[in-house]
């Protein structure tokens, strides 16, 4: 039976010098791990989705380094370090395997987990993220690199940071780290993407920071873009959300839940 108590179980996991905040919603099924984007947190990114996602499965959500209720450290923000934090969290919770749903920065972390720690990942959902920098529109990274506290003053992101952070006076530090996220990292090769074991759902907005051409290339490397009536529906899929930017990438709750739950609940095709 689904868990009827919708209050999350919360806590802090000591990993890599962090006190990493997490929430657990629902019960049953394969656990689903939620990984938010830069400058967001659990509530801002997934707040409207969690009840639908947790109706028939356990959902684990975490705040990354320097985000939400998790403290910051004297280290840059990299997908490798954030993935290591996530592995530590799963070990702390004694969870051996999860489905993963990551957006933007969280999508980069989810992708890294699927490639470098495949034993941990059952199904993979990567939203509004490229696997190689050539799939990004350059103006997005340029804008993030120039962000200041004054530029986001009065926004929900600024208000949430100051309300939740253990050190509310360090918002500019976080913005600076986001501006250099994974700086110098060259991305993944086509062979890396082909080799992912986890069935993959790619989601992107039709006017996102990731180009549509890149999303289709991503899908093809995962075995998609076929005539499903003859070849069968592939295990990996692509959802393009209309009228959707990077900032609003998973804000269309109904569409997102339909795509994500349909993917998570579908049987994996043979072969």
Q: What is the pLDDT of residue 2?
A: 47
d(CA 228, CA 248): 30
Q: What is the pLDDT of residue 146?
A: 83
Please give the average per-residue pLDDT across 22-26, as a whole number: 98
d(CA 28, CA 55): 9
Average pLDDT, the chain: 95
Name the band, by pLDDT with cuts 50, 70 and 90, for residue 268: confident
Which residue(s) pair with 200 in the sheet? 124
Return the HEC string of 145-159. HCCCCHHHCCCHHHH
Cβ-contact 15, 88 below 8 angstroms:
yes
Name the band, by pLDDT with cuts 50, 70 and 90, for residue 232: very high
What DSSP string describes 67-109?
STTSPP-SS---HHHHHHHHHHHHHHHT---EEEEEETHHHHH
pLDDT in tens, 31-78: 999 999 999 999 999 999 999 999 999 999 999 999 999 999 999 999
Closest CA to 202 of 234, 227, 230: 234
Q: What is the pLDDT of residue 5?
A: 57
pLDDT in tens, 184-219: 888 999 999 999 999 999 999 999 999 999 999 999
Cβ-contact 216, 252 below 8 angstroms:
no
Query: CATH class for domain 9-265?
Result: alpha beta
The percentage of residues in the chain with a pLDDT greater than 70, rounded to a whole number, is 96
Res 1 pLDDT > 50: no
The total of other beta-carbon atoms located within 10 Å of residue 168's CB is: 11
d(CA 130, CA 210): 6
Task: Please state which of the ranges 45-59, 110-124, 143-157, 254-268 shows the lowest mean pLDDT.
Answer: 143-157
Name the band, by pLDDT with cuts 50, 70 and 90, for residue 141: low
d(CA 103, CA 62): 13
Task: Provide the token pair at 109.
Answer: 């972390």
């Amino acid at each position: 039976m689904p868990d009827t108590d919708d209050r999350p179980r919360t806590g802090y996991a000591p990993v890599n010098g962090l006190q990493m905040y997490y929430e657990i919603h629902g019960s049953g099924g394969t656990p689903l791990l939620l990984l938010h984007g830069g400058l967001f947190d659990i509530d801002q990114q997934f707040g409207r989705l969690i009840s639908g996602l947790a109706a028939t499965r356990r959902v684990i959500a975490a705040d990354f380094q320097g985000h939400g209720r998790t403290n910051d450290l004297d280290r840059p923000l990299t997908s490798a370090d954030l993935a290591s934090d996530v592995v530590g969290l799963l070990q702390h919770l004694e969870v051996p395997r999860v489905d993963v749903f990551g957006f933007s920065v969280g999508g980069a972390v989810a992708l890294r987990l699927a490639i470098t720690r495949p034993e941990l990942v059952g199904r993979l959902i990567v939203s509004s993220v490229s696997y190689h920098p050539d799939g990004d529109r350059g103006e997005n990274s340029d804008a993030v690199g120039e962000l200041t506290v004054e530029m986001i003053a009065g926004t929900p992101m600024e208000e949430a940071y100051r309300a939740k952070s253990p050190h509310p006076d360090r918002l500019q530090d976080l913005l600076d780290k986001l501006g250099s996220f994974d700086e110098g990292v060259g991305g993944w090769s086509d062979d890396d993407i082909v080799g992912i074991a986890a069935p993959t759902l790619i989601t992107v907005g039709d006017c996102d920071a990731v180009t549509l051409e890149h999303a289709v290339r991503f899908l093809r490397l995962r075995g998609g873009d076929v005539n499903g009536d003859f070849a069968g529906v592939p295990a990996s899929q692509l959802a393009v959300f209309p009228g959707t930017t990077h900032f609003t990438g998973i804000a269309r709750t109904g569409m997102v839940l339909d795509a994500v739950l349909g993917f998570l609940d579908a049987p994996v095709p043979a072969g």
